[in-house]
């Protein structure tokens, strides 16, 4: 209840600033921080935001992506961003905010199963098979099609840190649309940005055409708040953000 009150206060202020002026021609960025496996604060905020959008528009079918031009996320924030932008095949997202949070909560015990590594292991690590199964299930269509970065309703940015190049790597729908060498399965992108070193082993992923690879660890190490990357993208990527 206390979290709901805080969320209500934060977003009531934001709504006064921009939600009541949705027709203005501005680029709106939704950046969802990483920070923990549960994502309680982000989840509560997203549900409240989508509820208020529906109240303001009077349309129960309105979704968060209808009022944002670019979505970015790291870690658990990336999972939310991907679920809210993944295209169900009709140009609409697979999940509402409420359904995304519910799905995550219901599957959480399955996602984060402790990997038992012997009696002398001090730190707790999670099974990669469990979270892989969850993410693939969440980011596939009913017909079994596994979605890629190209299969999103709005531009999406998700960072990780690439051990191969010893540099940050930002997955982008714009790059994926230009070449299959930068198109990756969406669940693997989320897995990459969630590979916290203390909890998971580095995650290796390969692009759709097999020409690009990345050995990823947690994007939060270099870009826990990906707002800066999203602003840069909006300013410089003409495909997603025309002048």
* Catalytic center residues: 218
CB atoms within 10 A of CB 22: 13
Distance (Å) of CA 96 to CA 5, 100, 173: 22, 6, 20
Annotate 199-237 with DSSP letters as a single string.
TS--EEEE-TTSS-EEEEE-THHHHSSTHHHHHHHHHH-
Longest dimension (CA), the chain: 60
Place of tokens 């990345």: 214
Q: What angle do CA 200, 206, 211 make, to 5 degrees?
A: 150
């Amino acid at each position: 209840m206390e979290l709901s009150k805080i969320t209500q206060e934060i977003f009531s202020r934001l709504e006064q600033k921009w939600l009541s002026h949705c027709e203005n021609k501005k680029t709106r960025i939704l950046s969802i921080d990483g920070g923990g496996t549960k994502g309680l604060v982000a989840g509560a905020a997203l549900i409240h935001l989508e509820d208020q959008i529906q109240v303001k528009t009077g349309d129960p079918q309105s979704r968060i992506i209808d009022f944002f031009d670019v979505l970015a996320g790291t870690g658990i924030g990336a999972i939310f961003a991907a679920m809210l932008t993944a295209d169900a095949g009709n140009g609409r997202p697979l999940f509402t905010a409420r359904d995304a949070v519910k799905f995550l909560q219901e599957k959480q015990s399955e996602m984060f199963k402790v990997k038992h590594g012997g009696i002398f292991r001090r730190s707790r690590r999670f099974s990669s098979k469990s979270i892989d199964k969850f993410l693939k299930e969440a980011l596939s269509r009913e017909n079994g099609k596994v979605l890629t970065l190209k299969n999103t309703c709005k531009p999406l940015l998700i960072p990780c840190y690439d051990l191969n190049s010893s540099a940050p790597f930002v997955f982008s729908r714009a790059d994926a649309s230009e070449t299959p060498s930068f198109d990756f399965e969406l669940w693997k992108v989320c897995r990459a940005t969630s590979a916290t070193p203390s909890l998971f082993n580095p995650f290796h992923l390969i692009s759709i055409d097999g020409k690009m690879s990345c050995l990823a660890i947690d994007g939060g190490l270099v870009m826990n708040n990906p707002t800066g990357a999203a602003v840069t993208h909006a300013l410089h990527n003409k495909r997603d953000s025309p002048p």
